[in-house]
Amino acid sequence: MAEIQKDILIVGAGPTGLGAAWRLNELATRGVINPLIDWLLVERSQFPGGMAMSTTDSQGFTWDLGGHVVYSHYKYFDALLDELVGGELLHHERKGWVWMHGRYIPFPIQRNLHHLPPADLTRCLKDLIGNQAMDRGNSSGPTNFAEWLRWNFGQSLTELFFLPYNFKMWAYPADEMGIDWTQRKSGSRYANVPLVDVDRLLENVVCRRDDPGWTGASLFPYPVRGGIGALWQRAYAKLPADRRLLDQELVSIDTDRRIARFSSGLQVAYRHLVSSMALPDLLAAMPADAADFRRTCPLKHSRSHVVGFGLRGETPAALRDKCWVYVPELNLPFFRVTVISNYSPNNVPDDGAHWSLLCEVSESPYKPIDTDEMLAEVEAALTTSFLPPDQTIVSRWYRYLDYGYPVPCLQRDGFLREVEPWLRRRHIRTRGRFGGWKYETSNQDNGFMQGVEAVDSILFGAEELSYFYPDLICDGAVQRVLPN
């Protein structure tokens, strides 16, 4: 196949790649840049959306690839939502719960300890009060996530909830994880791991007052039809047809000649490359000059098994007010269960009453999975814990994701500080959930804006706030002003 020339090559049509392509198309349409600036978006899958895609099974149930809801930190992203699905959005409170001891506890659990059995409640309160009274003036502070949890929540609550839940989610021990990500606000207006006000907690316990992490100000949008992937399907469809290609897997990059080769035989000579493919895979596609980074790469990630169950009948009363449920107990295989039929009535068939649950199970070298055993265990656990006896399963859906979560491991930031500028000097910007490898800025709005800002950096020299300054973005301290 003949070689083609492009000014900007975009690899990956998830939120980040679509953000880059959207921005280029917008700037050309508005006459801000020369429309002759040539670009191409390529995606290895047969569908756009990346991890944010959705699919509908043969029974008519729509499934997302996990519980990835949208939260916007940006007016630019709000405008995208309005343009693509503005009149076809539902809005929900972020009603997260914890399933422990056979009961539902409002999330975050650290503000709702009065739901615990008396013995657990007593131990947790003693630790939290003791922590508050402790003189830490000469202490060096925590150095990893496990130490940070004990430092802030005490031994009892850490062992009861935080350590088992986080191992089930990340599939890596907490003492191998960093702590900077914990107080950033990735997917809501709350910190990723909310701290606890002990005085407020004691009032909650005495008054038996629920203190959930949702309010009317923390609504999340969801498309009426097509799952969360409908947003990205529409964004992709609005791009020029001659500038987007599916089913094209990158196999190698010649960084000296700036040529990318794809599985179909396509060769693209580029001036700049914006990649959202997983960073280890990007390095593997590069020549010998990336060998040192490949050999020393410390990045860790979980794999995800996403299991859906479509059911006939009415949603059980206990689940009608819930979006998702965190599950820390180690005898249950999933770390989260999403009542995805609550997101939209069109996520289930319209021929009678139906509802659906989406379960997520992580995997890593620390947490190996036998798929057949896991699927049987998930169904058995749902039957004993979440499903009333009269419920009938009419659809079973399963998807394996080789990349589930980018683990904020201890060595992550040091490695990124070396590899990112090395790639940028070679005219490659690696961004997005697994391209940039920063969990705290890996929500869909963050990913989209990292693509937008990568383009603005290439064309105008603009600062990439979303990738390099996550604290400013997560805290809402800066509302980005785009070049005109």
Query: In CATH, what number is assigned to the domain containing residue 397?
Result: 3.90.660.10
pLDDT in tens, 280-326: 999 999 988 899 999 999 999 999 999 999 999 999 999 999 999 99
Question: 253: which strand partners?
Answer: 260
Question: Is 166 part of a structural domain of the chain?
Answer: yes
Question: Is 159 part of a structural domain of the chain?
Answer: yes
Cα separation, 7 vs 94, whole angstroms: 42
Residue 379 sits at φ, ψ, to 5 deg, of: -65, -40
User: Residues 184, 319: one domain?
Assistant: no
Q: Which residues, including other chains, have CB under 8 Å from residue 280's CB and lie 6 or more apart? A: 294, 297, 299
Residue-wise burial string across 456-465, b where 16 or more C-beta atoms lie within 10 A, e elsewhere? bbbbeebebb
Query: In CATH, what number is assigned to the domain containing residue 237?
Result: 3.50.50.60
Question: Is 329 part of a structural domain of the chain?
Answer: yes
Question: Is 194 part of a structural domain of the chain?
Answer: yes
Cα separation, 229 vs 139, whole angstroms: 47
Last residue of a domain, one of 407, 431, 452: 407
Q: Containing domain of residue 195, as a range? A: 96-213
Find the largest Cα–Cα distance for the chain. Answer: 74
User: Residues 402, 264: one domain?
Assistant: no
Beta strands in 16-166 (DSSP E): 39-42, 54-56, 62-64, 89-93, 96-100, 103-106
pLDDT of residue 392: 93
Tokens of 456: 């603005």
Q: What DSSP letter does each residue of 75-111 carry, written as one string?
A: HHHHHHHHHHHGGGEEEEE--EEEEETTEEEESSGGG
Tokens of 142: 């925590």
User: Residues 247, 375: one domain?
Assistant: no
User: Residues 468, 416: one domain?
Assistant: yes
By DSSP bridging, strand 244-245 and strand 250-254 are unpaired
User: Residues 376, 452: one domain?
Assistant: no
Contact in structure between 15 and 448 (CB atoms under 8 Å):
yes
Last residue of a domain, one of 148, 181, 213: 213
User: Residues 18, 156: one domain?
Assistant: no
Tokens of 396: 């079973």
pLDDT of residue 193: 86
pLDDT of residue 231: 97
User: Residues 413, 287: one domain?
Assistant: yes
Last residue of a domain, one of 178, 213, 248: 213
User: Residues 414, 398: one domain?
Assistant: no
User: Residues 292, 198: one domain?
Assistant: no
Question: Is 61 part of a structural domain of the chain?
Answer: no
Contact in structure between 226 and 160 (CB atoms under 8 Å):
no
Q: How far is CA 433 from CA 17, 175, 454, in A?
A: 11, 22, 14
Tokens of 437: 């490898």
User: Residues 423, 465: one domain?
Assistant: yes
Question: Is 219 part of a structural domain of the chain?
Answer: no
Give the number of domains in the chain: 3
User: Residues 447, 314: one domain?
Assistant: no
User: Residues 140, 248: one domain?
Assistant: no
Split the chain (484 residues) into runs of 10 and give each run's mean pLDDT. Answer: 90 99 96 92 98 97 93 91 92 94 95 97 95 72 95 96 98 97 68 87 95 79 96 98 98 96 97 98 92 95 99 96 97 98 96 93 98 98 90 96 98 98 98 96 94 97 93 67 58
CA torsion sign, 414 to 164 to 71 to 50?
positive
pLDDT in tens, 398-449: 999 999 999 999 999 999 999 999 999 999 999 999 999 999 999 999 999 9
Question: Is 384 part of a structural domain of the chain?
Answer: yes
Q: Identify which of 447, 438, 450 has the alpha carbon closest to the alpha carbon of residue 408.
A: 438
Q: Which residues, including other chains, have CB under 8 Å from residue 1's CB and lie 6 or more apart? A: 264, 265, 266, 267
Question: Is 14 part of a structural domain of the chain?
Answer: yes
The helix-helix angle for 229-237 and 15-29 (nearest 10°) equals 40
Contact in structure between 276 and 16 (CB atoms under 8 Å):
yes
